[in-house]
Amino acid sequence: MTSLRKARGSLTQERVLDVALAGLRRRGAAGLSFRALAAALDVTPMAVHHCVGSRAEMLRLLFAHTMGAPVDGLSDGPPAERLRALMTAYCARAVAYAPLLREAFADPDLAGGPQTPIVAALRQELAALNQADSPLLDLLIDHAHGFALSISAQPAKLKHVEEAYAEALDWVIRRAVVVEGK
């Protein structure tokens, strides 16, 4: 009983989320049950609930931590180059966290909507390409999601993800820039 109390005392939201992400990678959405997390953390399911709230609240936190987080290290190059780097990084996240993405499709409120840092960065890059009012934002995000979900269902193709996605993304960006250049 002492070890359980000690574990509860050191249980943090960050630790629960780290274990949840590991469970998500190994077992998909099944790895996100409070019982599975509690077993992995050697605590009770109520201790997990105390740290992260409801399952929906935990999923929102996970989504914000993974898919919605800002992308660091973007170049100072031309807007099209920055947009490409941003979308490539976002798609890599979508592939890595495809089970979480599936959960967000089941409950769109999990994704945080248009206020996430990554969406703000995309809007900024599209504005630099004079595409702020175009449907390009939705097209790029939907393309990344569709690509990630389809490729995650075909693990043998995962090693070619970046080049296949980059080829399609370059095609879209070239057309957006050409349209602007007319």
The list of the chain residues with pLDDT below 70 reads: 1-9, 112-115, 155, 157-159, 178-182
User: What secondary structure does DSSP assign to 44-73, as a single string?
Assistant: -HHHHHHHH-SHHHHHHHHHHHHTSSPPP-
pLDDT of residue 181: 46
pLDDT of residue 49: 96
Helix, strand, or coil here: 42?
coil
pLDDT of residue 157: 67
pLDDT of residue 154: 77
pLDDT of residue 114: 60
Please answer whether residues 117 and 70 qualify as being in contact, where contact means their C-beta atoms are separated by less than 8 angstroms: yes
